[in-house]
C-alpha cells in the first residue's frame, strides 16, 4: 500500500506491506521491519531492531491515500485540510474545468488528462474550494504530479 504522510509542510512517500504479522515500511530510501501494538487511542509501541519506541500520533500528521484522492472515494483525510488531485499516469492536460477560488462539489470534474489516447477526468474527492490549479491545457504531467488542491 502506497501512502503519503504530511508532517508540517513536508510530504513523505510511504510504502507499507503486511508480512507475517509485521509491517515492512519504506519511507523514502529507508526500509523498516516493524511490529506495532496500539496501547491506547493514538499511542503505539513500535518494536524495531531490538528497540521499543512509544509513538503518539496527533493532528500534525496527515496520512493520505493518493488512489482514493484520484477516484473520488471517501476517506477521513478528505474531510479536513487540503486534498490533492493527482495525475494517475503520465499524460497531457486536455481541459481544466475550474479556477483558483472556485467552489466544487464532490465528484465534480476538475481536470481532464489524456493518456494513451484515453481521456481521464480527475474529480473532486469532496466539496470544497479550489486553492490552487498547478496545470493548464497542453501541459505534460507525470504520474503522481499534483494537478490541483482543494480546501
Q: How far apart are CA 63 and CA 122, in angstroms?
A: 20
pLDDT for 76: 42
**CATH domain 80-150 topology:** OB fold (Dihydrolipoamide Acetyltransferase, E2P) (2.40.50)
Q: How far apart are CA 125 and CA 98, in angstroms?
A: 14
Higher pLDDT, 78 or 107: 107
Q: Which of 84, 81, 75, 151 is nearest to 122 (CA)?
A: 84
Determine if the pTM surpasses 0.85: no
Q: How far apart are CA 15 and CA 24, in angstroms?
A: 8
For cell 481521464, what's the residue? 120
Q: How far apart are CA 115 and CA 21, in angstroms?
A: 38
Q: Which of 76, 46, 65 is nearest to 4 (CA)?
A: 65
Residues 64-99 have pLDDT tens digits of 666 655 444 444 444 456 788 888 788 899 999 999
pLDDT for 71: 46
CA separation, residue 76 to residues 64, 69, 124, 134, 144 (Å): 9, 11, 15, 24, 20
Amino acid at each position: 500500500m502506497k501512502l503519503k504522510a504530511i508532517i508540517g509542510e513536508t510530504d513523505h512517500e510511504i510504502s507499507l506491506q503486511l508480512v507475517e504479522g509485521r509491517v515492512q515500511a519504506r519511507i523514502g530510501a529507508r526500509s523498516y521491519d516493524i511490529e506495532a501494538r496500539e496501547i491506547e487511542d493514538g499511542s503505539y509501541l513500535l518494536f524495531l531492531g531490538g528497540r521499543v519506541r512509544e509513538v503518539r500520533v496527533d493532528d500534525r500528521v496527515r496520512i493520505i491515500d493518493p488512489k482514493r484522492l484520484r477516484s473520488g472515494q471517501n476517506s477521513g483525510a478528505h474531510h479536513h485540510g487540503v486534498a490533492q488531485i493527482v495525475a494517475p499516469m503520465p499524460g497531457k492536460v486536455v481541459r481544466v474545468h475550474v479556477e483558483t477560488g472556485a467552489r466544487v462539489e464532490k465528484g465534480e470534474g476538475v481536470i481532464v488528462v489524456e493518456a494513451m489516447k484515453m481521456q481521464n477526468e480527475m474529480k473532486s474527492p469532496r466539496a470544497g474550494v479550489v486553492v490552487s490549479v498547478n496545470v493548464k491545457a497542453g501541459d505534460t504531467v507525470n504520474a503522481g504530479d499534483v494537478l490541483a488542491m482543494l480546501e
